[in-house]
Chains A and B, each alone.
Chain A
Amino acid sequence: MKLTRKAALVMAAVPAIVFITPVGSASAHGYVSSPPSRQAQCASGAVQNCGGPQWEPQSAEGNKGLVTCSGEDRQDFAVLNDDSKPWQVTNTGTTLTMTWTFTARHRTRDYEYYIGNTRVHYVDGGSAAPVDPVRHTINLSGFSGRQKLRAVWNIADTVKAFYSCVDLNIGGTGGNPTPPPTTTNPTPPPVGGTWAANTYYAVGAAVTYGGSSYRCRQAHTSLTGWEPPNAASLWEKI
């Protein structure tokens, strides 16, 4: 009965492994994508060297009622609280539309928007899951100049909330405090050049990679991970 015992052990072990795995490391999230929040700027490459938020802009999570931009659950998100980072500043009048991006849906208690300790806008979530696109138009009357708007998505069925800070210049006229984007424009490579990431390739473009030659099958902007040997649907070996 060796086999049966082994099977029983496996059956017993599997739930433990899987239970520990997903709950801590991957759950549901969201962030403000427009105007670009701090984590959206990390993910778009507008602000470099962010660490965690570059990969998971949706994971600035923490208990409800925090006054941080990072949420505090993850230490590698503390960069979002750093006011000295070159965050892009959105110029706006007193009316501003906020757009949320979700990676999974949670029943929602509400959305709150704060400048400092003042709650400038509130949206009841009705304990329902969000339906895209989620947009809120908020009124910023009474505020001017450089402000840090803190957007909060309060989850109905957990103790958690998700935080997004957006840097604003309210009612600013003339003089744009936004630094130019740090991303470089893709430049077309020389014909027959070596494959490079973040480059636009038209159908028929020829490149070399790892000593072989390839021809582009479908127009696209290349990405790390889509090297010709890894993306046969985009590149034909010639």
Chain B
Amino acid sequence: MRRLVIVVAVLALAGCGGEAIVPGGQSAHGGHDAASTAPPAPAASARFNDADVMFAQMMVDHLQLGISLSQLALAKATKQEAKDLAGVIDTTQREELAMLKSWLKLWGKPEGGGANLHAAHGGQPLLDDKVINDTKEKSGAEFDLTFLNLMAGHQGAAVEMALTEKKEGSNPETMAYAERVASTRQGQIAQMLKVISEQ
């Protein structure tokens, strides 16, 4: 019952609020922000449903948290595999973020609200600013283990969202993107689990 109440409350915020909150924004990134020089993101067609919008909004929030965690790993990870993966996640998620923001703009929907929608999915989201700040305090093997488990879990949540969008979305570009999210995150998780099990 509590879950129902939370869901209704979140809907009231997400459905009627319309306030776009973009936490963090683009952080400085050394100068190899490849996404900025990449060709423009593919446009999404105008036909969409609520599942498409919710997926895009949740992914905006999710991508930003993933970028923050990757930035941390680029600075602090000791294992080369962890650092390499963080670099690629950072780069590709910036590209995806720009694409999703352009789609939400086209649809006339706010970018924010993703974090609130997470709460409706049961439990607290894995990552938030506090978790990222706490992880910042760790170093060496302890940092690597924390990063790998957090990122494997974070990307696992992305797979779940993508599978839901594949079932319930209607916009063809968004559903194709969901397919790519599922396969690339699954591939990243496979790589991370191999490193975790070697510890």
Contact = CB atoms under 8 A, between A and B. Distances in A.
Contact of A19 (B7, B39, B156, B189): B7
Given A133-B149, A232-B95, A43 B187 contact: no
A223 B196 contact: no
Interface stretch (A25-33, A79-87, A141-149): A25-33
Interface in B46-67: 50-51, 54
B108 to A, nearest CB: 15
Interface residues of B, number: 67
Contacts, number: 189
Given A225-B179, A225-B181, A104 B88 contact: no
B188 interface: yes
Given A19-B7, A43-B190, A224-B187, A234 B92 contact: yes
A9 interface: no
A99 B153 contact: no
B160 A17 contact: no
A131 B149 CA distance: 11
Interface stretch (A34-42, A119-127, A167-175, A187-195): A34-42
Contacts of A232: 34-35, 38-39, 95
B69 to A, nearest CB: 11
Most buried by A among B120, B154, B161, B167: B120
A101 B152 contact: yes
Given A22-B121, A99-B149, A233 B7 contact: no
A223 B187 CA distance: 6
Contacts of B146: 132-133
Contacts of A35: 197
Interface stretch (B17-25, B71-79, B124-132): B124-132
A58 interface: yes
Most buried by B among A59, A100, A103: A103
B95 A233 contact: yes
B45 interface: no
A18 B54 contact: yes
Contacts of A28: 121-124
B105 interface: no
Interface in B111-170: 117-118, 120-126, 131, 134-135, 142, 145-146, 149-150, 152-154, 156-157, 159-161, 163-164, 167-168
A45 interface: yes
Given A40-B193, A129-B124, A233-B94, A58 B35 contact: no
Interface of B: 3-4, 7-8, 11, 15, 32, 34-35, 38-39, 50-51, 54, 84, 87-88, 91-92, 94-95, 117-118, 120-126, 131, 134-135, 142, 145-146, 149-150, 152-154, 156-157, 159-161, 163-164, 167-168, 179-184, 186-191, 193-194, 196-197, 199
Q: Which 10 pairs from chain A and chain B are nearest by CB?
A: A28-B123, A27-B122, A223-B187, A225-B180, A232-B38, A225-B184, A225-B183, A44-B193, A233-B95, A103-B156
